[in-house]
Amino acid sequence: MNYKPNPDYEEHFALNMSMGGEDAEESLAKIQANLLSYELGPDTTMEDRMVPGSNGVPDVKIRIIRPANLPKGAPVIMDIHGGGWIAGTVDIDNRRNIHLAESTPALVVAVEYRLTSATVRYPEPLKDCYVVYKWLLENAAEIGGDPKKIALHGTSAGGNLAEGLVLYLRDHGEQQPCLTVLNCPALSDRIYSSSYQMDAMAVSATGYNQPLHFYLGDLMGKSASYYAVPDLCSDLRGLRPHFIITAEYDSLRDEGLNYAMRLLSAYVPCEIISAPRVAHGFCTVDAELTKWVHEGCCAAFRREFDSMTG
């Protein structure tokens, strides 16, 4: 296949496609430095605090980003970072979360869920996200937010956790977020799509399934829960609006697009972006396509938050 990466995404594309060459380490260092860099707007604040755990869940760290002049009763976006369930922190989403906070505008609350390890498997990371979501429902007003206007944003493995959370909330009759944004989400445990069959992909079949299976743990012959593998859910009716972002050169592309079509077939409003000529995690690159996608997210958040007014 003749790959033609989007301008400004060449280094990210090359690294994701294992085509970095001699300059790979330098390119990786540059991309990581950009990922971890951020600049707060005038009077935008960033605060870390702990959410009390419950039912065996330890306290969970959150990061609250509050833009300047945000009125009380502001909408809230809960962010769940990526990293294949085994890596990543709230730090890697700082740049995006500042943009979402300042441009929506809204409070953004990022979740430092426990990473998968020998002692932490499904459903522990999902429980952490649930604890924070429930805390927001009960305490949003304390931090200046509106508990009726809570949305979710999840990237990659974070998209998996976000969708597992909304399915759980639906099944248990609890308040769902007014919008769930899934950015290059990991939703399936099956390798069947054309995006997996390409000879070089951002997330290889082996590279993706190893952390997924590590997250799932030993199922002892049982099927995985669809709270862990959302694509296994046969009935998506009753979910609130979604926004799904996929990347052309990403092995997770087709499962995101297929899930979006299933949502639409179940009469769930779903906005879809399939970003051209970029690889998995392209939104870590500070370039025009990324800004356009983030502006689309902000517009969608504003639309759904406004729909909750009154």
| CATH number for 274 | 3.40.50.1820
Percent of the chain with pLDDT over 70: 89
Domain count, the chain: 1
For residue 190, the model assigns a pLDDT of 72
For residue 213, the model assigns a pLDDT of 86
For residue 197, the model assigns a pLDDT of 52
- Reduced to 3 states, what is the DSSP secondary structure of residue 167? helix
- Reduced to 3 states, what is the DSSP secondary structure of residue 220? coil
Residue 221: inside a domain, yes or no? no
For residue 189, the model assigns a pLDDT of 86
Bridge partners, residue 151, by sequence: 77
CB 12 within 8 A of CB 29: no
Backbone angles phi, psi at 94, to 5 degrees: -55, -50
Which tokens belong to 209?
């399934």
The continuous run of DSSP H or E covering 108 comes out as strand 107-112
For residue 204, the model assigns a pLDDT of 42
CA 113-119-122 angle, to 5 degrees, is 55
Residue 106: inside a domain, yes or no? yes
For residue 194, the model assigns a pLDDT of 58
Using only C-alpha atoms, the chain has a radius of gyration, in whole angstroms, of 18
Taking only the tens of pLDDT, the chain with its 310 residues reads: 688 999 999 988 888 776 545 556 666 677 777 778 889 999 999 999 999 998 889 999 999 999 999 999 999 999 999 999 999 999 999 999 999 999 999 999 999 999 999 999 999 999 999 999 999 999 999 999 999 999 999 999 999 999 999 999 999 999 999 999 999 999 998 765 555 555 444 444 334 457 888 899 887 667 899 999 999 999 999 999 999 999 999 989 999 999 999 999 999 999 999 999 999 999 999 999 999 999 999 999 999 999 988 6
Q: What is the pTM of this model?
A: 0.93
d(CA 284, CA 12): 9
Bridge partners, residue 66, by sequence: 45
d(CA 184, CA 100): 17
- Reduced to 3 states, what is the DSSP secondary structure of residue 209? helix
CB within 8 A of 93, min separation 6: which ones?
A: 79, 81, 110, 155
| pLDDT 10s digits, 211-256 | 888 899 887 667 899 999 999 999 999 999 999 999 999 989 999 9
Determine the structural domain holding residue 165 and report its residue range: 10-18+26-216+231-307
Residue 157: inside a domain, yes or no? yes
For residue 222, the model assigns a pLDDT of 79
- Reduced to 3 states, what is the DSSP secondary structure of residue 119? coil
Residue 66: inside a domain, yes or no? yes
- Number of helices (H), then strands (E), belonging to the chain: the values are 9, 8
| Burial (CB count <10 Å: 0-12, 13-18, 19+), residue 66 | buried
Residue 59: inside a domain, yes or no? yes
Residue 4: inside a domain, yes or no? no
Residue 3: inside a domain, yes or no? no
CA 74-79-80 angle, to 5 degrees, is 160
Residue 226: inside a domain, yes or no? no
For residue 245, the model assigns a pLDDT of 98
Q: Cite the DSSP H helix spans in 140-252.
A: 157-171, 194-197, 205-216
